[in-house]
Amino acid sequence: MTGFVKENWSNLLLLAFFVLLATQPVTRWAGLYLGACVCLGFLLYRKQDPARGPRRWRAGGRLLQVVGPALGLLVIAQVLWDAPFNVGLAISVFVGLGALGLHHWGGLLSLPDAHEVMKRDPRPPVVFLRSFKEEERQVHSTPVGERDGGEAVTDHSFPASREQEMAQALDRIGPFVAIGRPGEPLATLGAARVYLGDGDWKAFVEAMVPCSAAIVLQPEFTPGTLWEVGLVVKAVDLRRLLLVVPDPAVRPFRYARVRGLVSETFGVSLPEADACGSCEAFYFDRGRRPVALRLSPPSALDPFVAHVNGLGPPRGVS
């Protein structure tokens, strides 16, 4: 219990504030709506048993996506009508954020499982192999770390992953699938996830890789990703590979390490960091020559999509 309070003290404080709002006649509905949003957040993001995969409820999610924002609009109308204008406006902002949150959670709840996606779409899949650490990485506008003295500098951050853009583009080749991180409370946007235990994921990847239309590999130096690199070297036609690399213009040191790994394992030479400019991925043409790409906007991947679609079905598919 104390652990829960420690982890969620800010949300509990927010909940107390919303309960206080609910005690007042003019802000009753706003308080109830916002309180319900916080409680739903607690329910959805509570720890999930890794063996069970994330929470999914397709019908419920769709309903939440529609009913949540609709109720939010009604509450905003009521509070703007009944409360003093400045109070109503401030509370409407909260309610609007709550409505957006409900819509987002509804979307995550209704995301289909990778098996379901592949059942619906019979084309050979595009498998995304990456380390979970890289999936979590954030890009910060300022150097990260504790510092003494001086004026504080405002930091902005956003997720480094380009998975959602890739999902949009690669959908034109086949269903985009990936292994999900065990214990995730809700599924993630981007590739459709399959959730497997520690012992099962290698068997799944081994079965999927040879019959995939394309492989998106983000090489890292974790044991799991190195195993995946080894498998891709053995089982995949290099022309079907999209190699996601650290952008040499902003991560030259990591790019150099990945370049070394690729040269050692695949026997192909990526351009030097200085020669390549800004790029985020490579695919390999018929002569095994690397072609640099960016991953955003999704149309930047058009050359790779056209290249793979021109190759015909993969070796493992009759």
Partner 1 sequence: MSEAKPFSAQLRRRALLADIKGNIVMALISLGLVPWGLYFLLGKCEDCTGWNVGGVIIGLGMEAGSAALAWYMVRGIRERAAPGGDALSEQLRPYGDPRALAGELDADFVGQRLRPKRLFLGKRWLVYCSGEPVVRRVDDLVWAYVEAIKVRLNGVIPLGTNYQLAVWERSGRGAAMGLKKEEAEGALAALGEAAPWMLSGFTEAVKESWNSDREDLLAFVEGRRKKG
Question: Which residues here bind partner 1, judged by CB under 8 A?
Answer: 17, 20-21, 23-24, 26-27, 83-84, 87, 137, 139-140, 142-151, 153, 160, 246, 249-254, 256-257
Q: What is the dihedral of CA 26, 32, 33, 34, to 10 degrees?
A: 100
Of 137 and 288, which has the nearer Cβ to partner 1?
Answer: 137
Of 235 and 256, which has the nearer Cβ to partner 1?
Answer: 256
Of 104 and 254, which has the nearer Cβ to partner 1?
Answer: 254
The answer to whether the CB of 240 falls within 8 A of the CB of 215 is: yes
The answer to whether the CB of 281 falls within 8 A of the CB of 293 is: yes
Of 137 and 289, which has the nearer Cβ to partner 1?
Answer: 137
Of 59 and 144, which has the nearer Cβ to partner 1?
Answer: 144
CB of 154 to partner 1, least distance (A): 9
Q: What is the DSSP letter of 300?
A: G
In a 10 Å sphere around its CB, with 0-12 CB exposed, 13-18 middle and 19+ buried, how is residue 169 labelled?
buried
Which is nearest to 55 in space by CA: 67, 43, 37, 63? Answer: 43
CB of 108 to partner 1, least distance (A): 26
Q: Which residues of 279-314 are buried (b: 16+ CB within 10 A; e: fewer)?
A: bbbbbbeeeeebebbebeebebbeebbebbeeeeeb
Q: Which residues pair with 290 in a beta bridge?
A: 284
Q: What is the DSSP letter of 281?
A: E
CB of 159 to partner 1, least distance (A): 12
The answer to whether the CB of 153 falls within 8 A of the CB of 142 is: yes
Tokens representing residue 59 in the block: 């019908």
CB of 260 to partner 1, least distance (A): 11
CA–CA distance, 47 with 204 (Å, rounded to integer): 25
Q: What is the DSSP letter of 219?
A: -
CB of 70 to partner 1, least distance (A): 27
Of 85 and 287, which has the nearer Cβ to partner 1?
Answer: 85
Of 278 and 309, which has the nearer Cβ to partner 1?
Answer: 278
> Can you tell me which residue has the tokens 């070394």?
260
CB of 84 to partner 1, least distance (A): 6
Q: Which residues pair with 252 in a beta bridge?
A: none
Of 67 and 90, which has the nearer Cβ to partner 1?
Answer: 90
CB of 78 to partner 1, least distance (A): 15
CB of 19 to partner 1, least distance (A): 11
Q: Which residues are within 8 A (CB) of 143 and not within 5 positions of it... i.e. 6 or more apart? A: none
Q: Is 182 left (phi over 0), alpha (psi -120 to 50) or beta?
A: beta
